[in-house]
Amino acid sequence: MKLFRALTYGIVSLTSLSVAAQTPPAKHITDSVVPGAEWVTAAPESVGYSSARLEALRGWVKTQDTGSMMVIVQGRVIFSYGDVSHTSKIASVRKSVLNMLYGADVFKDQIKDDALNKTVRQLGLDDKVPFLPMEENATLIELMGSRSGIYIPTGNDGQAKTMPPRGSELPGAHFICNNWDFDAAERPSRSLLAGTSSRLCKMT
């Protein structure tokens, strides 16, 4: 839970790091690069971030239970903390990566709000266990936020013990970590996401 909080606060913090720096950059980078065997680095100001604020982030990260961290913008490393070459065991990151892929295409206006608000029926999603009428109204954005209200068993015994009864919560009304939501949100991503994002999803 501590690591989750650290990641959450870190993401929130990063939204405030993209404010223009006090010293105008000599060169502003507009293109993206695909990382190779070695990461390309860039000055934070060259991609619209602040070195001073990133260093403030470093000071905060040191107080958290964080092994390592990288901030990558347009394929370039603008911040790193800890031993980023060390292979660490991580879990439950699929939902975070999927939301980032969706978010990137929403930001580029390649996915419209109406797509995020499509219901599971409109997206062509189904299950061996039929939906309840109220469950059919769950939207893609609610799947991504684990608020669909669809509590079909997924085979995860740990989640089954805490899952509300089916039909007890309206879509969007209640959050609970739900593998069914994450599995379902991944399906339309293969057709909705553009370019690199779509190729990444097809590899998973």
Q: Are residues 53 and 109 in the same domain?
A: no
The three-state secondary structure class of 21 is: coil
SS3 77: strand
Please state the rounded mean pLDDT for residues 14-25.
Answer: 45
pLDDT of 84: 92
Residue 171 in contact with residue 117, Cβ under 8 Å?
no
Instruction: Categorize the per-residue pLDDT at 198 as very low, low, confident or very high, splitting at 50, 70 and 90.
Output: low
Residue 133 and residue 59 share a domain: no
In a domain, 87, yes or no: no
CA 34, 36, 38 angle in degrees (round to 5)? Answer: 125
In this prediction, residue 6 has a pLDDT band, given cuts at 50, 70 and 90, of very low
Q: How far apart are CA 23 and CA 45, in angstroms?
A: 8
pLDDT of 94 reads 82
Q: At what angle do helices 195-203 and 179-192 cross, to 10 degrees?
A: 130
Residue 89 lies in a domain: no
104 pLDDT above the threshold of 50? yes
Let me know if residue 179 belongs to a domain.
yes
Least confident residue range of 47-61, 78-92, 165-179: 78-92
Looking at the structure, do residues 152 and 107 belong to the same domain, yes or no?
Answer: yes
Residue 88 lies inside a defined structural domain of this protein: no
pLDDT for 204 beyond 70: no
Residue 116, φ and ψ in degrees, nearest 5: -70, -25
- State whether 77 and 98 are in the same domain: no
- Cβ–Cβ < 8 Å for 45, 51: yes
Instruction: Report the alpha-carbon distance of residue 2 to residue 63 in Å, rounded.
Output: 11
As a whole number, the mean pLDDT across the chain is: 81
Which pLDDT score, from 0 to 100, does residue 13 have? Answer: 43
Burial 126-164 (b: 16+ CB within 10 A, else e): eeeeebeeebbbbbbbbbbebbbbbbbebeeeebeeebe
Share of the chain above pLDDT 90, in %: 47
In a domain, 183, yes or no: yes
- CA dist., res. 30 & res. 27, Å (int): 10
Q: Which domain holds residue 15?
A: 2-82
